[in-house]
Structure 1
Amino acid sequence: GIKWDSFELQYSGELPVNAETPEWMTKHYEVVFRDVRELTREMLANPDYHAEVDIAPFREFDTNGERRFEDFMSGDWSWQQADLIAQDPNTHGAMFVPWIMGSDKTTVSVATGQNEYYPLYGSIGNVRNGVRRAHRDALVLVGFLAIPKTDKKHAGDAKFRKFRRQLFHTSLSKILQSLKPGMSTPEVALCSDGHYRRVIYGLGPYIADYPEQALLACIVQGWCPKCTASADKLDDAGAGRRSREHTETLVRELELGELWEEYGLVGDLVPFTNDFPRADIHELLSPDLLHQLIKGTFKDHLVTWVEEYLVIEHGRPRANEILDDIDRRMAAVPPFSGLRRFPQGRGFKQWTGDDSKALMKVWLPAIEGYVPRDMLRACRALLEFCYMARQNVFVYATLKKLDDTLTQFHTCRTIFQACGVRPEGFSLPRQHSLVHYSRSIRLFGAPNGLCSSITESKHIKAVKEPWRRSNRYNALSQILTTNQRLDKLAACRVDFANRDSEAALNNSHCNMSLTDLNDCRENHNSRDPEDPGDDVDGPRHDAYVNLARTPRRRLTSHEVATELGIPQFPNMVRRFLQDQIHPDRPFSSEIPLITECPSFRGKLSEYNSAAATYYAPSDLSGTGGMHREHIRATLSWGNGPARYDCMLVNVDPSLGGFRGLDAVRVRMFFSFEWKSVIYPCALVEWYRRTADEASEDTGMWVVERDLDADTGEPVGNQDFANYVDAHVTSLNHINNKLDPIPIVPGMFLGYHHPSGEIHIDETSSAWISCPCLSV
């Protein structure tokens, strides 16, 4: 492992003569770090992701000739940097290796003592976004920055504020010094594919939330770090882009006060990027999905504004009643994998990014009927922008739609100003940052490869867990030791895998242990009521579904018919076999006559769950964007009532979005063997759309139980779908999990179960949210 090093910095200005010297002026601030050059070379040579490294900038086009923006090196910025490098004969032909950084303070405990740390992380832009999101040692802990503090008396001192800012920039500049020679003179480095190449380094994007972006760009809080828009008129047209050359010219020509007031610049502060070639901090600040969109514009702005509107419109007592009903609506959402439930509503103190993402899925139908139409449309437009911005691949048509959606949001959000919630307007830096997303995507590729959620999730492994393992005394040194040992173990694993040593370890005993481990993991997942799903490493491939490893029981089709009250179930099995014998029969064609179907007298194996694996790069996913969720159909969930999850069935792949899908609820997972072929299946109940189009205001589909017009029985009792088949793969209709949200127009249609769960009346309709699909 690469050893830790440190340096100390101290205030070097004038000390007060006739007054007490503040402690911060005499204190030494230690910065702990590792050699960035060695970290970069180590990542370049890591064979673990040799097939997922781009050695040169590229422009990618789909079959229609549309340019694709996905991984970092597919953007325009790396291409432009390569052009600059090629102009120098000394660097011409060298492999460009951009160094991406990110930093964010984190708190490890609410107790007294040193409980706040300032980790700095790094990655190389050559690894693809999926590798960086999945970490896999492509995002490393570089060091810990100093956090200068003082008493309240001196907290507002201009000298202390300037020192704190300059300490940050000086620390970054010193940490990066080992890379600087390689930014102008190529050096030979080993790459992950085993080849040696001449490489040239460069500073890449910096991942940070808004306060840190302002610190990095040396601007005044409230101004935009990317454009010259005035702090009180951020969304006015005509603002130009900030640049290193523009800022340096202003600093030379104007006084500090004028720089502060007219351009929002801290003129006596020098950004660390000025010490390195081809680096412009204003351009290098990456979009931040987590803090700008999810926790910022959605949670802190829209959700708060809606609550304030209800108070203004109805008064506090009635507003509280409405908010309680909104909480009940959200609590009524049935449990299923991938959704953070709100059994007690929104009433908890600390919101995480995952909580805000979960709220996005249920917010629109929860407030429908309580807010004006334009307010609902503003929320819808912002949510559409969020989900589009979280996509893995962009083309120019997607970017145009992104801009059009943002324009729609800007148009509809004026309702908040008109009703008195935002009388001062919308000069909000995090919300304003959305106007720069389209250009940033063209520069750096998909934003999900440069999101602060990547660095925040790294806090757990790099800071919080090592801190918990420490004895709390001089915890930082123990954190450093733990990280160094973890890095050695990771490097050892990669080396073993590269030498094919793992194959030698796969004896029968190890295989048995791994099987037991998988069984334990499966059982753990089946117990987790809010299982977020699993990331699945490997390349992208078609969706598939696997039944649970162990069946719950075995029974005959007649026993199933009696237990579920579906007397025609044995005939349904026979009709299904007829479909398997004639796979060319369309999925939606008429049900075959029972006399035409083969007979079946064997036993069925019933399962409590199945696992659906599909492509979902906006969710927690592996390097190829594959994601796995667990689908349940069980008589008792968590020692409580039954749970039957809903899903989407692919009935017409030629139609886009939800139009080619049908919503179903699983009543039972089972499999059976017929003529030495195993058929895994699912008994499902069907839902039908209440309209031919999605709701105009929410953009969501409305479905209800599909009941027979004559008998009133669910149509789902008349059919079942083949989910996964290891032998007959042509009838795989599963698409992905579905989150049904109950509609409650005027009154709440659910009822409370004694266990505390809220169950929806069987005749209720439900909103269908398909954020990963285009409607």
Structure 2
Amino acid sequence: MAFILAPLKGPGVSGMSVTSGDGVTRRGHPIYATFVGDYPEQCLVTAVKTGECPTCEAPRDKLGEDSEETAFPLRDLEKILVALETLGRWTNHLRKSGLPYTNIFRSISPDILHQLYQGIVKHLISWLKAACGEAEIDARCRRLPPNHNIRLFLNGISDLNRVTGKEHDQISRFLLGIIVDIQLPDNISSTRLLTAVRGVLDFLHLAQYPMHTPRRSLTSAMPSLASTTTRVSSLIWVFAKISNLPKLHNCAHYVMYISLFGTTNNYNTEYTERLHIYLAKDAYRSTNFKDEFPQMTLWLERKEKIFHHEKYIQWRLDGSPAPPTLKPLPPGIIYERRLKMTKHPTHKAVRINTLVADYGAVLFRDALIRFIVQFNNPTFSRPQIEARSASVTLHFNRVPVYHRIKFITEDPYTAGGPEDSVVDSIHVQPRKPLSSGKELPGRFDTSLVNDGSDG
């Protein structure tokens, strides 16, 4: 670590020319600002014991208390260094080998993957199974209707092993919906349970916002949700008989983290998890399993050179184009959605009687006639449309049918330039017999259409 960070010593004090994302070169001082890692790694770099908070001086037996009522002071680096020097202990670890303007206790950053998804959400699922029963939770999971933004766990979630952070993310999307009217044992009121689960899920999503406002999300919403999240400890004690979880306590520091370092998408360990495969597993497999570290390092260096050379060759084959210029866009969270259809319909010609019988579109013929009349006569009133529709006859009996509609939006902040992403979709598909003799059930998504009338 000291060898990797050694180049920051000189420029951190004297400064250097730094080019920012907008292309402007300014005088900057690169410093060791954030440490991105999970809780065991945070304990190692801060030299605190497991079970303690690496940021504040909260005792181990008081991590579950409400952070607003019991605010503990942040760890003071100078006092700790003085105490270590008095005892004659080594202090270079906390000083980070002389790096300027470095306070390791202020460099700890939130860990969305391990603290929230693989931590709080994982524990929350186990607490709900203990409180509500695994059979009931699994039965409610199987009854969920299909949805574009929800993954269905048709076998339930109780028997899942080695659940990834992505799967915990998918489970958290419907977790509140399956317990909203659940009955607890001994007729215990579920109000506290629902309040705690909703507070945890709200905090989970708010902590991942790509932008925050100081007056609303940081100073109003997040502190109250962090307080609700820490109050889950009383609920945990009732059902799981455990308390004082560092992951729950750490939620109280998220406002400070985001105020110091920006939004959490800048230092999420989820981005670097994939590097375990590229930099460790694949590299290790390329060695003879003896004296592996020099071989792994050499393999990675060669792999990187091959990658850069391949990109260069492709750039020359493409005619040596200039780097793409990204248009400066105003920040936003919700972007305009566009309707996207396939080039060809799913079925080119379906009888209208089939639409009535198999698709359930009982009023399709009448609705199509009214639409044709209104399209050709936009100034007609509703009674005029009804009167004209009575005399219209369709000279066809088949129509093309699309089984899927997509809604896409453009993400302007993608590294390779703006690209489209599917944010929602509507599925319409009648039941279908399979070759195995079974039948695939139909799927008809419910959609709310805004016709622009503000109705």
TM-score grouping bracket, smaller chain normalisation: 0.7 to 0.9
**What residue is the counterpart of 1:547 in the other structure?**
341
Identical positions, percent: 21
1:573 and 1:600 in contact (8 A); partners too = no
**What residue is the counterpart of 1:641 in the other structure?**
440
2:116 and 2:247 in contact (8 A); partners too = yes
1:512-527 to 2 correspondence within 5 Å?
none
2:95 and 2:102 in contact (8 A); partners too = no
TM-fit CA distance, 1:430: 1.1
1:486 aligned to 2:279? no
**What residue is the counterpart of 1:340 in the other structure?**
151
Q: Tell me the amino acid that sits aligned with residue 310 of structure 2.
A: L
TM-score normalised according to structure 1 size: 0.47
**What residue is the counterpart of 1:451 in the other structure?**
268
Q: Tell me the amino acid that sits aligned with residue 445 of structure 2.
A: C
CA shift digits 1:67-124 (9 cap, x unpaired): xxxxxxxxxxxxxxxxxxxxxxxxxxxxxxxxxxxxxxxxxxxxxxxxxxxxxxxxxx
Residue of structure 2 aligned with 1:570, choices 347, 351, 365: 365
TM-fit CA distance, 1:302: 2.0
Residue of structure 2 aligned with 1:328, choices 139, 152, 155: 139
Alpha-carbon distance between aligned partners in 1 of 2:136 and 2:429, rounded to the nearest angstrom? 29
Mind listing any 5+ residue stretches in structure 1 that lack a counterpart?
A: 1-171, 257-266, 311-321, 504-537, 661-775
- C-alpha spacing 1:381/1:189, structure 2 compared with 1 (3 Å): closer
1:632 and 1:643 in contact (8 A); partners too = no
1:289 and 1:451 in contact (8 A); partners too = yes
Alpha-carbon distance between aligned partners in 2 of 1:593 and 1:209, rounded to the nearest angstrom? 65
1:248 aligned to 2:81? yes
TM-fit CA distance, 1:641: 0.9
1:431 aligned to 2:248? yes
**What residue is the counterpart of 1:404 in the other structure?**
224
**What residue is the counterpart of 1:609 in the other structure?**
404
2:94 and 2:104 in contact (8 A); partners too = yes
1:385 aligned to 2:203? yes
TM-fit CA distance, 1:226: 0.9
1:360 and 1:383 in contact (8 A); partners too = yes
Q: Tell me the amino acid that sits aligned with residue 361 of structure 1.
A: R
**What residue is the counterpart of 1:228 in the other structure?**
57
TM-fit CA distance, 1:194: 6.7
Alpha-carbon distance between aligned partners in 2 of 1:247 and 1:496, rounded to the nearest angstrom? 58
Alpha-carbon distance between aligned partners in 1 of 2:76 and 2:377, rounded to the nearest angstrom? 66
- C-alpha spacing 1:274/1:345, structure 2 compared with 1 (3 Å): same
1:39-188 to 2 correspondence within 5 Å?
172-188=1-17
Where 2:247 maps in the other structure, the secondary structure is: helix
Where 2:59 maps in the other structure, the secondary structure is: coil
**What residue is the counterpart of 1:289 in the other structure?**
112
CA shift digits 1:626-683 (9 cap, x unpaired): 631554323468956144253553539999xxxx9xxxxxxxxxxxxxxxxxxxxxxx
**What residue is the counterpart of 2:387 in the other structure?**
595
**What residue is the counterpart of 2:352 in the other structure?**
558
Alpha-carbon distance between aligned partners in 1 of 2:403 and 2:377, rounded to the nearest angstrom? 29
**What residue is the counterpart of 2:170 in the other structure?**
358
- C-alpha spacing 1:642/1:291, structure 2 compared with 1 (3 Å): same
- The root-mean-square deviation of aligned C-alpha atoms, in Å, is 4.1
Where 1:427 maps in the other structure, the secondary structure is: coil
1:467-486 to 2 correspondence within 5 Å?
470=286, 476=296, 477-486=298-307
Q: Tell me the amino acid that sits aligned with residue 226 of structure 2.
A: L
Alpha-carbon distance between aligned partners in 1 of 2:102 and 2:27, rounded to the nearest angstrom? 21
Range 440-449 or range 601-610, more displaced: 601-610
Where 1:633 maps in the other structure, the secondary structure is: strand
Alpha-carbon distance between aligned partners in 2 of 1:281 and 1:491, rounded to the nearest angstrom? 39
Alpha-carbon distance between aligned partners in 1 of 2:433 and 2:103, rounded to the nearest angstrom? 54
Alpha-carbon distance between aligned partners in 2 of 1:592 and 1:625, rounded to the nearest angstrom? 45
**What residue is the counterpart of 1:302 in the other structure?**
124
Alpha-carbon distance between aligned partners in 1 of 2:17 and 2:47, rounded to the nearest angstrom? 35
Where 1:245 maps in the other structure, the secondary structure is: helix
Q: Tell me the amino acid that sits aligned with residue 289 of structure 1.
A: I
Where 1:453 maps in the other structure, the secondary structure is: coil
Aligned residues: 420
Q: Tell me the amino acid that sits aligned with residue 339 of structure 2.
A: V
Where 1:438 maps in the other structure, the secondary structure is: helix
Alpha-carbon distance between aligned partners in 2 of 1:580 and 1:231, rounded to the nearest angstrom? 70
CA shift digits 1:166-214 (9 cap, x unpaired): xxxxxx1101223332222344466777766554322232211111111
TM-fit CA distance, 1:225: 1.0
- C-alpha spacing 1:623/1:375, structure 2 compared with 1 (3 Å): farther
Mind listing any 5+ residue stretches in structure 2 that lack a counterpart?
A: 185-189, 325-331
TM-fit CA distance, 1:282: 1.3
**What residue is the counterpart of 1:271 in the other structure?**
94
More helix by share: 2
Alpha-carbon distance between aligned partners in 2 of 1:599 and 1:502, rounded to the nearest angstrom? 58
- C-alpha spacing 1:565/1:201, structure 2 compared with 1 (3 Å): closer
More strand by share: 1
CA shift digits 1:697-743 (9 cap, x unpaired): xxxxxxxxxxxxxxxxxxxxxxxxxxxxxxxxxxxxxxxxxxxxxxx
Range 343-352 or range 605-614, more displaced: 605-614
TM-fit CA distance, 1:498: 9.3
- C-alpha spacing 1:207/1:478, structure 2 compared with 1 (3 Å): same
CA shift digits 1:574-615 (9 cap, x unpaired): 333456568899xxx979844346876465322232322147
Where 2:340 maps in the other structure, the secondary structure is: strand
Where 2:109 maps in the other structure, the secondary structure is: coil
**What residue is the counterpart of 1:651 in the other structure?**
450
Alpha-carbon distance between aligned partners in 2 of 1:488 and 1:584, rounded to the nearest angstrom? 64
Where 2:272 maps in the other structure, the secondary structure is: helix
TM-fit CA distance, 1:353: 0.3
1:632 and 1:644 in contact (8 A); partners too = yes
Q: Tell me the amino acid that sits aligned with residue 646 of structure 1.
A: D
1:229 and 1:239 in contact (8 A); partners too = yes
1:440 aligned to 2:265? no
Where 1:455 maps in the other structure, the secondary structure is: coil
